[in-house]
Amino acid sequence: MKASIVISLVLISSVCFSQAERKSLTKSDSLLIERIKKEKPNNYIGKLLGDYLSNELLKKHTEWLPVDEPPGKLQAIILSYSDKVWVEIIVTDILYQKKFNENMKWNFNLLKKEKIYIIKYSWEE
């Protein structure tokens, strides 16, 4: 079975926020958005998620959150960089741990062993 991970980058900016909220986007967030735009997702296809996260830019997330749907079944991971910038990683195959966990606890280090199948960056401007 081939491990597959879909990565979708969602950067929340001007379209989703009012004028006042747009002004609250930090300079750091703006720089991060500009740097992420320059990333080439095809460079990571077939590589480990851990390789993707070893990128100086992408490894600086402040927290990671599992997304389970239905409850207990890991479907995605959100890497948070700020309250307005995060990366959503949609996981389709997991080989190194059980995808279903009724306690909704997964080992992030084991997820880093999974191979990337598709990467999609998207942001709203």
**For 21-61, how does the pLDDT look when each residue is reduced to its tens digit (9 = 90+)?**
445 677 888 888 788 778 777 787 788 888 888 988 888 88
Q: Of all helices (H) and strands (E), which one includes residue 89?
A: strand 85-91
Per-residue model confidence (pLDDT) at position 109: 93
Per-residue model confidence (pLDDT) at position 41: 73
Q: Which of 39-43, 77-81, 109-113 has the highest mean pLDDT?
A: 109-113
**For 82-104, how does the pLDDT look when each residue is reduced to its tens digit (9 = 90+)?**
777 777 777 667 889 888 998 88
